[in-house]
């Protein structure tokens, strides 16, 4: 899919429902002792795969108008079940915990080749510490349990249903917060609940806060103990010292899932790069979603961000400034932020990017490769990247005083971006393509992981409707 440089007219858009909240509420609804109506649930590959996995585990669902109704509380049969979560990191990790919490036979959990490369060892260790019986799936008929336990902790994994008891667990720094969220979500269904003690500042603490918000919306009671922290862009949502969730029923009911802040970063960035205004309908500035912080970063770079009723309006400022930022609390938005920074008037240093190395792709490397192909200088480390502006005819880019960024960036260069089958790489460079042209996106269908209608929405932005 190729792009030519073009401006976008002022537009209003409602991005689809939050993927992070959709995945969390699917698990909570499956554990509820009753029916849960989910309004605004995201329809994408990640959520569809998780829903299919729950269905295979005897959790029935039905569609009522635009809502999805989950009938929770069922136990699996004693027969073994096999599920495949594709490229879904969050669904895979959530299902490992769910399968261990739900009574029934064994559940063999598998996923794509990329997910088989991604880490699960620390999550398996957490589950085992709380009674979960989980081990690498046998690859030969004569392989015994002891030998299976010595296999590398990679998918596929076999989980014995109902083995997870819960209790106290001490957790230090982790590669991902997703397993901790998984424990929190299944805690109400465990005989001993969960008592998590954090010995270090938790990784991606903002996503643990999102899990707490989802639990609260589902009527689950919990206790949180916090330690004092220095409030900053990096530490907001931090300071978690202990989370205690006692065994309790989940009642079900009706859950409204708000628009996805992670998806909203793309139209917001389009407004800034193309000198226009985009109104993000239904997305409140006080959202618990971590990626809402991207809008604060846009404001620091010179954009105008305003609250308009129950919506947020983003408008291009007079210039796009280089600005250093820590993205530890909003890693999903970091890809768009780094690509956007290549159009600023000076370099930007991004820190707090450690988890980007183990996402659907190595996102630091993928962004660096794409921007370097377009002529930018990019420096990288294990958890940081410094983005220098793309080659320009002018020393600074001014989105208001020039007709478009094409006046400042060489539009003749044509580059095919390797998305590495990563939806966020595809969407971020597509937005850049709106501004500079000469960009083509390989494997555009990978956006189906989080926003199947992305290309249609992009066309609407172009037309301003």
Cis bond upstream, residue 345 (ω within 30): no
Q: State the catalytic residue, choosing from 291, 332, 418, 422.
A: 332
Write out the two tokens for 27: 């698990």
Sign, CA dihedral 367-372-376-377, equals positive
- Do the strands 106-110 and 81-84 form a parallel or antiparallel pair, or are they unpaired? parallel
Cα separation, 23 vs 8, in Å, equals: 32
Beta pairing, strands 35-39 & 67-71: antiparallel
Inter-residue contact 372 to 342 (CB < 8 Å)? no
Q: Residue 210: left if φ>0, alpha if ψ -120 to 50, beta else—which one?
A: alpha
Q: Which residues pair with 262 in a beta bridge?
A: none
Task: Calculate the alpha carbon distances from 411 to 5, 407, 434 in Å.
Answer: 8, 8, 11
**What is the distance between the alpha carbons of residues 224 and 247, in angstroms, rounded to a whole number?**
15
Tell me how far apart the alpha carbons of residues 388 and 379 are, in angstroms, rounded to a whole number.
8
For residue 383 the two structure tokens come to 């958890």
Distance in angstroms (rounded) separating the CA atoms of residues 297 and 134 = 41
Residue 203 CB contacts under 8 Å (≥ 6 apart), including other chains: 173, 174, 175, 176, 177, 354, 355
- By residue count, the chain amounts to 465
Q: Any catalytic annotation for residue 170?
A: no
Catalytic residues: 332
């Amino acid at each position: 899919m190729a792009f030519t440089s073009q401006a976008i007219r002022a537009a209003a858009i409602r991005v689809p429902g939050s993927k992070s909240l959709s995945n969390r509420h699917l698990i909570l609804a499956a554990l509820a002792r009753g029916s849960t109506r989910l309004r605004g649930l995201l329809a994408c590959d990640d959520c569809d795969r998780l829903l299919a996995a729950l269905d295979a585990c005897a959790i029935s669902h039905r569609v009522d108008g635009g809502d999805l109704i989950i009938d929770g509380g069922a136990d699996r049969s004693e027969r073994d079940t096999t599920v495949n979560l594709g490229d879904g990191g969050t669904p895979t990790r959530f299902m490992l915990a769910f399968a261990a919490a739900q009574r029934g036979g064994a559940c063999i959990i598998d996923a794509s080749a990329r997910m088989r490369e991604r880490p699960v060892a620390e999550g398996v260790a957490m589950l085992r510490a709380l009674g979960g019986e989980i081990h690498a799936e046998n690859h030969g008929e004569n392989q015994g349990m002891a030998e299976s336990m010595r296999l590398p902790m990679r998918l596929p994994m076999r989980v014995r249903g109902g083995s997870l008891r819960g209790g106290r667990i001490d957790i230090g720094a982790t590669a991902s917060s997703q397993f901790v969220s998984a424990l929190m979500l299944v805690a109400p269904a465990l005989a001993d609940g969960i008592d998590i003690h954090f010995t270090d500042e938790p990784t991606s603490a903002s996503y643990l806060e999102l899990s707490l918000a989802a639990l609260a919306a589902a009527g689950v009671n919990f206790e949180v103990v916090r330690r004092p922290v220095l409030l900053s862009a990096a530490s907001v949502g931090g300071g978690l010292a202990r989370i205690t969730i006692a065994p309790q029923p989940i009642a079900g009911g009706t859950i409204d899932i708000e628009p996805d802040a992670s998806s909203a970063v793309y139209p917001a960035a389009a407004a800034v790069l193309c000198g226009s205004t985009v109104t993000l309908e239904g997305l409140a500035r006080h959202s618990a979603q971590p990626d809402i912080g991207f809008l604060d970063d846009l404001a620091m770079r010179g954009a105008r961000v305003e609250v308009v009723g129950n919506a947020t309006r983003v408008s291009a400022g007079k210039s796009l400034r280089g600005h250093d930022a820590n993205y530890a609390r909003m890693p999903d938005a970091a890809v768009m932020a780094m690509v956007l920074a290549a159009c600023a008037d000076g370099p930007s240093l991004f820190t707090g990017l450690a988890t980007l190395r183990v996402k659907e792709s190595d996102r630091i490397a993928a962004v660096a490769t794409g921007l370097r192909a377009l002529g930018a200088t990019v420096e990288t480390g294990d958890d940081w990247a410094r983005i220098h502006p793309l080659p320009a005819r002018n020393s600074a880019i001014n989105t208001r005083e020039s007709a478009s960024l094409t006046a400042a960036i060489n539009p003749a260069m044509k580059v095919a971006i390797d998305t590495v089958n990563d939806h966020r790489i595809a969407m971020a460079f597509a937005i850049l393509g709106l501004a500079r042209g000469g960009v083509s996106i390989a494997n555009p269908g990978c956006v189906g992981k989080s926003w199947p209608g992305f290309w249609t929405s992009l066309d609407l932005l172009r037309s301003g409707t």
